[in-house]
Structure 1
Amino acid sequence: MSDLSVANIMAMRATMLDRNASLRGLLPATSRSSPTDSEIGAKPLSGFASTLQTAIQNVNTTLEQEDVATEAYERGETTDIATVALLQARSSVNFEATLQVRNKLLTAYNDIMNMQI
């Protein structure tokens, strides 16, 4: 359980704050109308969409690592159950966090759609 030490948590917090500050720098200075479908396909995603896509790719990578470690343990290729358990716990937390973000996004979308104009 050394991953949950105060120093590691503070380091993760500092990393998150640095990412937040860098994301603020990505915001465009001027607002413009929504891009068309051809514009979206022509240039890379930016802002919230790319951040969300990156986060989902990271969760997928974590789930794949957990699957590989679990299968290696089941085949007897590794005997380190602590690493396997840690990877399973990490992937479970990542997946649950992704579900919570999805639920919040759906709630926000429904709230916007139900607004009176």
Structure 2
Amino acid sequence: MNVNGVADVLALRNALLQRNAALRDVTSAPTPNALRGPDGSAPPSSFAATMQTALQKVNALQEQEDVATEAYERGETTDIATVALMQQRASVSFEATLQVRNKVLTAYKDIMNMPV
């Protein structure tokens, strides 16, 4: 590999490391404000409201992923790494939501089967 090829590989590596750092900053631990409503109101007080807020966030991630994928398919963007990351983030959030649903259903069944 010549010197230009090594420089290209190093530049590509640095670009990937910068993107990873930016994504890490975006997806870092949630702050107390992350639980606040869209209008800055206090966090939801009931389980149903908390679940609804979480489902809305998952839905928003799914919609962002759809928009990014469609833009890539139309050729409007060429950054496949961003599209792939958005797909993975949406997939992970959906899977986490599915696991929470399964746990809630299991707990409900356990409670309903308890002798009174």
TM-score per shorter chain, which class?
0.5 to 0.7
Determine the structure 2 residue equivalent to 1:93: 92
Matches of 1:8 and 1:98, distance apart in 2: 20
Q: 1:48 Cα shift?
A: 1.1
- Structure 1 residue runs of 4+, over 4 Å off? none
Residues 12-57 of structure 1 deviation map (CA, whole Å, 9 limit, x = unaligned): 1x52xx36x98xxx8xxxxxxxxxxxxxxxxxx8411111001001
Partner SS, residue 77 of structure 1: coil
TM-score, normalised relative to structure 1: 0.67
Instruction: Report the number of matched residues.
Output: 90
Q: Over alpha carbons, which structure has the higher Rg?
A: 2
Matches of 1:113 and 1:58, distance apart in 2: 30
Percent of aligned pairs sharing the same letter = 64
Give RMSD over aligned pairs.
2.6
Determine the structure 1 residue equivalent to 2:79: 80
Residues 64-110 of structure 1 deviation map (CA, whole Å, 9 limit, x = unaligned): 10001001000101011111011001000000000000000000000
Matches of 2:46 and 2:105, distance apart in 1: 19
Question: For structure 2, which runs of at least 5 residues remain unmatched after alignment?
Answer: 1-19, 37-41
TM-score, normalised relative to structure 2: 0.67
